[in-house]
């Protein structure tokens, strides 16, 4: 079975694209309280949260960092990993993690950072997901994915790409010089390990959640 790490149904959080201009911190503080009250033990992770320096029409990176900081702290309180959107802002994310000496588990989805930023993030309990950009041989993605331990990897498809999730797995297996079944088995282990961060989520719950969205 192939698991799309970006298709999980049970997530909760504030995406940076939601932080429209003009940004009102008090409004978002109230909204964040509402979100926290909607938390249940069925929530697999806090997300999608993060930072984005490329998207237009959203709050400054300073305000984004503040909202992200709230959510990282909350993830620790509720004992959940985080799914992180990080676009052209790896250094900003690392600044926050360093300041907090963050101990929580993170997944950077559709990772497009450098080998150096990946190595810095690996100092934390961080995982990385890759998608259809693996098919572009002219990017740094091939060298980056090969620099990351296999037990920290996930994969995802993209609704704007014609490539299937199986295509992504096949491409990754070729890049990593692994048998496809070996890669599938490892990603399954990674899935259980990543979400086992919380003692109140069973492996059955995890598999059932992803079975509805992965093939």
Q: Give the range of the structural domain holding residue 53, as residue numbers without chain letter.
A: 11-211
Tokens read off for 120: 């810095």
Kindly state whether residue 17 falls inside one of the protein's structural domains. yes
Mean pLDDT of 139-153: 97
Distance CA 168, CA 82 (A): 23
Kindly state whether residue 40 falls inside one of the protein's structural domains. yes
Q: Which of 42, 114, 99, 106 is nearest to 75 (CA)?
A: 106
DSSP annotation of 20: B
pLDDT at 210: 72
Kindly state whether residue 2 falls inside one of the protein's structural domains. no
User: Is this model's pTM higher than 0.85 or not?
Assistant: yes
φ and ψ of 183, to 5 deg: -65, -45
Predicted confidence band at 8 (pLDDT cuts at 50, 70, 90)?
low
Distance CA 22, CA 151 (A): 41
Distance CA 104, CA 73 (A): 9
Tokens read off for 7: 């298709």
pLDDT at 161: 87
Question: How many separate domains does the chain show?
Answer: 1
Distance CA 170, CA 126 (A): 23
Kindly state whether residue 99 falls inside one of the protein's structural domains. yes
Q: Report the relative pairing of strands 125-130 and 153-155 from DSSP bridges.
A: parallel
Is the pLDDT assigned to residue 4 strictly greater than 80?
yes
161-211 pLDDT, tens digit per residue, is: 899 999 999 999 999 999 999 999 999 999 999 988 666 667 767 777 776
33-56 pLDDT, tens digit per residue, is: 999 999 998 898 999 999 999 999
What burial letters (b/e) apply to 38-63, b meaning 16+ CB within 10 Å? eeeeebbbbbbbbbbbeeeebbebeb
Kindly state whether residue 6 falls inside one of the protein's structural domains. no
pLDDT at 126: 98
50-79 pLDDT, tens digit per residue, is: 999 999 999 999 999 999 999 999 999 999
């Amino acid at each position: 079975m192939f698991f799309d790490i970006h298709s999980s149904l049970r997530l909760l959080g504030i995406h940076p694209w939601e932080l429209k201009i003009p940004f009102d911190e008090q409004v978002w503080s109230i909204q964040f309280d509402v979100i926290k009250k909607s938390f249940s033990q069925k929530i697999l992770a806090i997300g999608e949260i993060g930072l984005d320096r490329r998207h237009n029409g959203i709050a400054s990176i300073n305000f984004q960092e503040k909202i992200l900081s709230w959510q990282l702290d909350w993830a620790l309180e509720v004992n959940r990993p985080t799914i992180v959107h990080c676009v052209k802002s790896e250094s900003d994310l690392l600044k926050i993690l360093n300041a907090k000496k963050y101990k929580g588990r993170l997944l950077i989805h559709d990772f497009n950072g450098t080998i150096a930023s990946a190595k810095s993030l690996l100092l934390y309990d961080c995982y990385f997901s890759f998608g259809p950009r693996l098919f572009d041989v002219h990017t740094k993605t091939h060298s980056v994915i090969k620099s990351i331990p296999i037990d920290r990897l996930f994969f995802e498809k993209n609704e704007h790409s014609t490539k299937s999730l199986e295509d992504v797995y096949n491409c990754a297996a070729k890049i990593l010089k692994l048998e496809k079944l070996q890669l599938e088995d490892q990603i399954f282990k990674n899935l259980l390990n990543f979400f086992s961060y919380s003692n109140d989520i069973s492996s059955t719950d995890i598999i059932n959640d992803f079975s509805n969205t992965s093939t």
